[in-house]
Chains A and B, each alone.
Chain A
Amino acid sequence: MALTETRPETDASPTAQEAPTTTLDGLLGSADHKTIGRLWIGSGLLMLVVSLVVSVVAGFEAADLGGFAIVADANEFTQLWSFGRELLLLGGIVPILVGLATYLVPLQIGAPAMAFARGAAGAFWTWFLATDLLIASYLLNGGPGGGRADFVVLWAVALGAMAGAISWALLIIATTVLGARTSGMTLERVPLTTWSFFVFSLIGLLSLPIVMAELVLVYVRVRHGFVPIDARQGLIGVMTPSNLPPPLYWVGVPVLGMAADVIAVHTGRPIKAHKSVMVALGLLGILSYGSHFFGFASVRPLVFDNGLLVVTIAAALLPILGVLALTGDSIRKGTPKLTAALAGALLSGVVFLLGAATAILGLIEPVAVFLERETPIGVDLNRLLILNGTVFHDGVRGLVLGSAVLAIIGALHHWAPKIWGRRMAEPIGFLSVLAAAGGSVLWGFGAVLAGIDDQPAYPAATLGGGDAVEFFNLLAAIGMAVLTVGAGLAALSAAQAAFGRGDQGDDPWTGATLEWATSSPPSFGNFDKPPTVRSATPLADTIDAIDESEVILDDAARAEAADASAEGSQ
């Protein structure tokens, strides 16, 4: 066995040894996927709140077009805005998703550990250090619009290292799914959450290196003086493709995957069209991927008149609708219990759909121009709704990232008993879900309306637009603030679950996937012995044996199944 393949956990008896997760040395030195997952989630939640606060400040600054009240000039505004945008994606949302994947994937596929356990720890600590460097670079007047070349270079290095560390973590997640599944767990039987993380990992692994490549160029260009100070605002474009549809739908893949699993459990009805949902999630991933190749946006803006890009944005709506329709069957035929987890999952799907549907508005102009060129029918191109080049796409970003925050809140509520052994408070959960949903919609549609009112896309040097732009920007800023409150409440509730007291039992939801077959939190090694599965919902199999016509996942049925099983074996 190769050196890097050695998994420390598997060398130990799962029951005889406990992972030292409570002491500092245990935290810093652990290669246990559960500890690493908690570290990603905790740090990601902190960065999520910080990034949203920074975005709120930038949003309120943009609400006043008359001048700069909070920052000194356009360069500082660019720094503030790009800092919030980068930290939100690569510091907050993606790391939390990576953390959930690191924690849940081995449990859901019946593995005792992640592939390359020490590599997983290395990826987290690299990201952690790189994020600190990114913050330092902005504090020291670096980043896009930065005045000090050395710290612009540091920004490029730090952002590249963050992308590299996340790629590294994604590689480990994908390898775990491909190579560490337990007996009987074929790829088509993996839970939808794991499948969505697998697609998310592959797409991220094949797109983040492009961001890193562009940052290498930025590094050499700035380092050798080819980007003068007045051209540094343009560096903001490095992260632009990743924040525009359809590449941004990349984060929507786990949003839908987690939502499907959560909905299945909280309605008591597994998703019947398991494979169809898998296909839809895969298709969404593929559609979100290709557009990374349309250009390096720091030098050449993403052009929305590219035919493939137009088709991709339109087509992406289909798999989203497909997943929502297929999970809707569980809601219709199941017995939904209104929980914060279910509310978060449902609303995340709806807000994501809103974002993807809104993005299609941006296609009116390129499609009309194309049609007029091919078959002139007398369309007045000057009266078209021209949204490309405006802050319209920032509104779509708000909706899509807002849906990711909602999905994260729902997922944390669902899996908190598994991660920390305690449930998160339901009343706070409902509040945070409502705030996140309302905030996302306000942010999204505030920016969309500002775009319709002709406000040019950021950076700030081009702030301007119609009469109502200030109001729409204020609306967007208030939306971001409300979203921040929602994320903050969820972070506090998660901290309470992590450090509080009480025990909610191993499986408070009567889940059907493998992670609920072990203790909560799981012991070292996850399972007493490697489990064998024969379906996508192994814990529902015993219930299926009683009544194949109707799967009822409640405690009474579970007990009845256990009794029947015991009698059968006697």
Chain B
Amino acid sequence: MTDISPYEPIPVDVAARPPVRPRLLLIGTALACAATIVGYMGLVGYYASRRAEVVATGEPWLPEGVTIPLTQPNFMLLTLSFSVVSMLWAVSAVRADDKANAYIAFGLTIVFGFAQIVQTAYLLSLMEMPASAGEQAAMIYALIGLQLVLTGLGMGYIAVTALRTLGGGYSAKDYEGVLSAAIFWIMTVGVYMALWYAVYITK
């Protein structure tokens, strides 16, 4: 064995680097988001193709007498856009160990999510379209229902993350869970945008 080493030895008084934590939650969330997007886009694609087939025959797509007002969908889009900002604010606050701002941001995001659910319920009451009104109505309810489920899941994810932050689980040193929740939330907002365009805008 030779005495010459191509590397400088680490001085004994230098603390060892902490082990790299596998970012399992982040990876898992990203994969779950990818799977969700594929499934939802499959539904949207099917809806769009069925709509195109019906429209091509000259028939109206929506059941007779049903209209979809645009005010509520647009406000929901605005609300959810704000929620993306507030969620990123939460990530930023946790990274800066600013707990007061983090709680406000988490709370706001959940409130925005809740507002979207309430507005959807109001929109459905305005549409006066039971799911049994036609096959297209059933499809619209499937799309809206799944989007609401995703919003609910996202709110739950954020709530758990907020509670863990409250308990000291997340901080500037480890904010992986907060980042994961933010990615999931942004995915749910993206899903709403697909719904907004495919159902509410194109009608």
The answer for the CA separation of A115 and B180 in the assembled complex, in Å, is 15
Q: Is the beta-carbon distance between B40 and A2 smaller than 8 angstroms?
A: no
Q: C-beta contact mask, A296-338 vs B, less than 8 Å → 1, else 0?
A: 1001000000000000000000000000000000000000000
- In the complex with contacts A116-B24, A116-B28, A175-B31, A221-B39 CB distance below 8 A: no
Interface pair B39/A209, CB less than 8 Å apart = yes
Chain A residues whose C-beta falls within 8 Å of the C-beta of B142 in the assembled complex: 216-217, 219-220
- For this complex, into which size category does the number of interface residues on chain B fall? 35 or more
B177: A residues at CB distance < 8 A? 2-3
CB-based contact B24/A224 at 8 Å: no
B24 vs chain A, min Cβ distance (A) = 4
Most chain-A Cβ atoms within 10 A of its Cβ — which of B23, B39, B45?
A: B39
Q: Would you call A248 an interface residue if the criterion is a C-beta within 8 Å of the partner chain's C-beta atoms? A: no
Give the CA-CA distance A116 to B132 in the complex, in Å. Answer: 41
A172 CB contacts on chain B under 8 angstroms: 28
Q: How far is the CA of A116 from the CA of B176 in the complex (A)?
A: 15
Q: Is the CB–CB distance between A214 and B46 below 8 Å? A: yes
CB pair B42–A210 under 8 Å, yes or no, is yes
CB 8 Å contact bits of A262-290 with B (1 = contact, 0 = none): 00000000000000000000000000000
Instruction: Determine if B138 and A221 form an interchain contact, defined as CB atoms under 8 angstroms apart.
Output: yes
Q: Is B54 an interface residue (CB 8 A)?
A: no
Q: Are B131 and A205 touching (Cβ within 8 A)?
A: no
B160 at the interface (CB under 8 A from A): yes
Give chain B interface residues in 159-186, CB to chain A under 8 Å: 160, 164, 169, 174, 176-177, 180
Q: Given the known A-B contacts A2-B169, A209-B36, A221-B138, are A180 and B24 also in contact in the complex, defined by CB atoms under 8 Å? A: yes
| B25 neighbours in A (Cβ, 8 Å) | 2, 4-5
Q: Does A206 contact B (CB under 8 A)?
A: yes
Any chain B CB within 8 A of the CB of A499?
no
B-contacting residues, A1-38, CB 8 Å: 1-5
Complex Cα–Cα for A220 and B46 (A) = 14
Inter-chain CA distance A212–B22, complex, in Å, is: 30
A217 touching B24, Cβ below 8 Å: no
- Please give the distance in Å from B161's CB to the nearest CB on chain A: 8
Check: B43 CB closer than 8 A to any chain A CB.
yes
Interface residues of B, dominant DSSP: helix
A5, A115, A176 interface centre (most CB from chain B within 10 Å): A5
A178 at the B interface (CB under 8 A): yes
List, in ascending order, chain B residues with CB within 8 A of A559's CB.
none
Question: Total interface residues on A, using CB and 8 Å?
Answer: 38
Cross-chain contact B46 with A171 (CB below 8 angstroms): no
Cβ-based interface call for A213 (8 A): yes
Inside 8 A of A216's CB, which chain B residues have their CB?
A: 43, 142, 146
Interchain CB contact under 8 A, A224 and B35: no
Does residue B135 face the partner (Cβ distance < 8 Å to A)? yes
B132 touches A225 (CB 8 A): yes
B29-50 vs A, Cβ < 8 Å mask (1 yes, 0 no): 0011011101110110110001
| 13 interchain pairs, CB-CB under 8 A | A3-B160, A4-B28, A171-B28, A175-B27, A205-B31, A206-B35, A209-B39, A213-B46, A214-B42, A226-B135, A293-B45, A296-B42, A299-B50
The residues of A with any CB-CB pair to B shorter than 8 Å are 1-5, 115-116, 167, 171-172, 174-176, 178-180, 202, 205-210, 212-214, 216-217, 219-221, 223-226, 293, 296, 299
* 19 more A-B residue pairs beyond the given contacts A174-B27, A226-B138, with a C-beta to C-beta distance below 8 A: A2-B176, A3-B177, A4-B25, A5-B24, A171-B28, A205-B34, A206-B35, A209-B35, A209-B39, A210-B38, A212-B39, A220-B139, A220-B141, A221-B138, A224-B131, A224-B138, A226-B135, A293-B42, A299-B50
